Amino acid sequence: MALTDYVTLGRSGLRVSPFALGAMTFGTDPGGAGCDVAESEKILATYLERGGNFVDTANFYTNGHSEKILGDYFAARPGLRDHVVLASKFFFNMFPGDPNGGGAGRGSIIAQLHESLRRLRTDHLDVYWMHNWDKHTPIEETMRTLDDLVRAGKIRYIGFSNTPAWLTAQAHTTALLHGWTPLVALQVEYSLLARTVEGELAPFARDQGLALTPWSPLKNGFLSGKYHRGGIEVTDSARTAYVGGPSDAEFDVIEAVAEVADELSTSSAAVSLAWLRAREGTVVPLVGARRVGHLEANLAGLDVTLTTDQLRRLDAVSAPDLDYPAPMHGAQRAMLQFAGTTVDGEESTVYPALLASDVRY
């Protein structure tokens, strides 16, 4: 597989690469955890030269520097912007002391988009994400504003990130009922070490034809192959200080991934990304990098195809504990519903009480 094996982003006509490039690391302000302009441009150029076309950022990444780096790069190469799917996000407030500087109200969305377009030096965004839930704004106001911006040609498609399933469903249904622009994708935390999205949001996305674009697909680098029980191969003091290290349960998953990687003569990162690609529905992982080498290592995930047995083993070791009512929807549901038969390929056992008695009232 290659970055040029494009997929449609959910129920839309937008064609994107199977891996998106996350630009959260572009720029060194604040904190120094990102990469400088020169390295950012090398990473971007490498991704685009390989045929990648889906670039994702946000208004507050490195205090807006990420957007500016992208804008300057495309402005210096006339015509290139028209062939890139450019996405950014709104929600985070960049103006201390101004309660209307962020969130998802009408005025704040319009103002945030204006600033993003200015930094990105473009007249539109291909995908505009709500970065988080604004519980102080009616969802109807948010969705109507986004629809207005689509009709004005300022944005093309919309998506949500980090929002509760019930709110996401309400927003999407509200848009459909009013004839407004619906959601096409959800940007969610999803990896072999973060699978709770499978309780509500992932099934909703599949049902409604929405794509998933997982962020942190390597779970803060835990699935990169650097981490081993008792130590870390490559010191990353800034990240380790921020996120800590893997737990014992996470190391169980990390070691299973490394075992599969050895079987395939590839890296743990490539296996982890290949596992995401193999999930049901349209899943487009966001790969980030602070060095060109990091990007190339992640793109190796396009060359990996996991066997049925390998997928089964990885699924089993990483199985998440999901919130109620998800535990009621597995084997117990099939047992109560199908009574020992097989329906649509799903096998079931018989409820033990039925076998214990012949009495039926």
Q: CA 184, CA 211: separation in Å to the nearest integer?
A: 6
Q: CA 162, CA 129: separation in Å to the nearest integer?
A: 10
One of 47, 61, 73, 227 is an active-site residue; which one? 61
Q: CA 264, CA 272: separation in Å to the nearest integer?
A: 12
Give the orientation angle of helix 165-178 with respect to helix 201-208, to 10 degrees.
20
Six token digits for residue 239:
């990240």
Six token digits for residue 354:
């039925």
- Tokens 């992932």 appear where? 202
> 321, 89, 71, 301: which is closest to 187 by C-alpha?
89
The DSSP string of 158-196 is: EEEES--HHHHHHHHHHHHHHT---EEEEEEE-BTTB-G
The DSSP string of 292-356 is: HHHHHHHHGGGG----HHHHHHHHHHT---PPTTGGGGSHHHHHHHHTT--BTTB-----HHHHH
Q: Is 242 an annotated catalytic residue?
A: no
Residue 204 CB contacts under 8 Å (≥ 6 apart), including other chains: 165, 168, 169, 210
Spell out the alpha helix ranges (H) of 76-126: 106-120
Phi then psi for residue 168, to 5 deg, are: -60, -45
Q: CA 3, CA 17: separation in Å to the nearest integer?
A: 5
State the catalytic residues: 61
